[in-house]
Structure 1
Amino acid sequence: MTPRRSVDEAVALLEGELRAGHRALADLGTEDVWQSFLRFGRLLFDVSEAPDGDGLLFQYGTHSFDGSPTFTVDLTRQFEFSDADGDHDHYLQVHCEVRYGSGPSLEALGSFDSWFFHDSGDNLEEWARALTELSAWTAIKMLTPTEIRVFQERV
């Protein structure tokens, strides 16, 4: 049986996947980040038995979170935590946020999101392949990130 990791290790494990091959984050291309996130997505964690307790989110769009509009791809892993009674308490999200700048061609891509949940019976590889078959992915994978941020938040 494959060992399940602690959610407390999630950020370090994602950062480790991004730095595989001993490359700095600034040297990674979009495809490198995506493949690193998928390796992270294949890891098993000790999570709640709640439906949708461990999910992956692929989303993109142009946003003005920190000032000027920036096209961002946000690759997120979400873990659900339950209270002592088994009821939902909170989520922990581990983000790999890839920023690119802005411009009409990026804004024209619009926004998009897609979820994958480990307990859904769906296949992670099929989900990933469907995302890379999107017409927008052809444009996105050729972009050079201006910034890559890894962080976690409780929601």
Structure 2
Amino acid sequence: MPNGPRPEDALDCLRAELVAGPSTTVVRTTRGAWLAFMRFGRRRFDTASASDSDGLLFQYGTYAFSGRPMFTVGLTRQFEVNNDDGEHDHYVQVHCELRYEPEPDLDALGSFDSWFFHGADADLDGWFAVMEERLVPLLDRRPAEIDLYEEPV
């Protein structure tokens, strides 16, 4: 979508959403981070017109990415990066990871992932509603860690 923010500014946009809630205590819960991610996910960026050039990924599971097992909710935005000829070069992902101490009820959730692409003419609000249902057991919890980062993939 032309005239939106550039994908290079996406991490700063996500950070701004995380502090834009009604109070500083809101962002400290899963619900606060989820509301920030929904605001961020609704914002359109200046991306190529391909149907997979701007995507949202919701995923969770128990992983040991940081060295010890943690239940992790991954809220990710992925942008296609094209070369000077307009051809696909790579993707850049902006991540908000919420990590929780392992507990049997969280481990029982298993793992899950789902993509949404802005260019696919799908219902964003419907996708958000389905993903939020998956978050119900976590909405009022405080993550032990929140990590924001960007990486090429």
Q: State the TM-score, normalized to the length of structure 1.
A: 0.90
Q: In 2 relative to 1, CA 106–93 (structure 1 residues): closer, same or farther, beyond 3 Å?
A: same
Deviation at 1:81, TM superposition (A): 1.1
Give secondary structure in 2 for the equivalent of 1:133.
Answer: helix
What percent identity do the matched residue pairs reach?
47
Is residue 61–residue 107 contact of structure 2 (8 Å, CA) maintained in 1? yes
Deviation at 1:6, TM superposition (A): 1.1
Q: Separation in 2 of the partners of 1:116 and 1:138?
A: 20
2:136 equivalent in structure 1: 138
Runs of 5+ consecutive residues of structure 2 not aligned to the other structure: none
Select 2:150's aligned residue among 142, 149, 152: 152
Q: Separation in 1 of the partners of 2:107 and 2:114?
A: 19
- When the two chains are superposed, the root-mean-square deviation of aligned CA atoms in Å is 1.9
Is residue 99–residue 147 contact of structure 1 (8 Å, CA) maintained in 2? yes
Q: State the TM-score, normalized to the length of structure 2.
A: 0.91
State how many pairs are aligned: 152
Is residue 3–residue 44 contact of structure 1 (8 Å, CA) maintained in 2? no
Q: Separation in 2 of the partners of 1:22 and 1:76?
A: 23
Deviation at 1:114, TM superposition (A): 0.7
Q: Separation in 1 of the partners of 2:99 and 2:109?
A: 14
Deviation at 1:2, TM superposition (A): 8.6
Runs of 5+ consecutive residues of structure 1 not aligned to the other structure: none
Q: In the alignment, does 2:28 pair up with 1:28? A: yes
